[in-house]
Amino acid sequence: MTELTSTPPAEPNWLPGPKLADFPDKTTRTIDYGNDGIVVINFAGQVTAFRNSCLHQDMPIHAGYLAGDGLLLCPWHNWCYQVSNGDCITVPGAALQQYPVQIHEERVWVKVKD
């Protein structure tokens, strides 16, 4: 879920993501991080971020189909995830690894470690 802040993230473990002006609704962007990267999703006014790896075969999901009902379908084998929380529809009880998100001065920031 998106958190709007008046001050920038102070901790060094926040990664800058896309500017909102370059990140229209119902799109995804990626951030290089670790082996898989992070997929950032802008959907219906909410920005969320997840490890860019499908639970099925660890394939990247950033190029998946973003459906109008808030689902992201993996482009490889159509595993389906809720964009609001990463819950897997294909395998109930499974979920993508989610990262906290903040918006500061029209830029998305993603927290990668506690």
Centroid of chain to Cα 92: 19
Instruction: Answer for the pair 102, 10: CB distance below 8 angstroms, yes or no.
Output: no
- Number of domain units in the chain: 1
**pTM given for the model:** 0.89
- The span from the CA of 95 to the CA of 102, in Å, is 21
Domain residues for the domain of 85 are 2-111
Distance CA 112, CA 14 (A): 6
pLDDT digits (tens, 9 = 90+) for 33-83: 999 999 999 999 999 999 999 999 889 999 999 998 999 999 999 999 999
Which pLDDT belongs to residue 42? 96
Tell me, what amino acid is at 102?
Q
CATH number at residue 31: 2.102.10.10
Across the chain, what does the average pLDDT equal?
Answer: 91
Question: Residue 4 pLDDT > 80, yes or no?
Answer: no
For residues 75, 80, 86, 87, the Cα torsion angle rounded to the nearest 10 degrees is -160
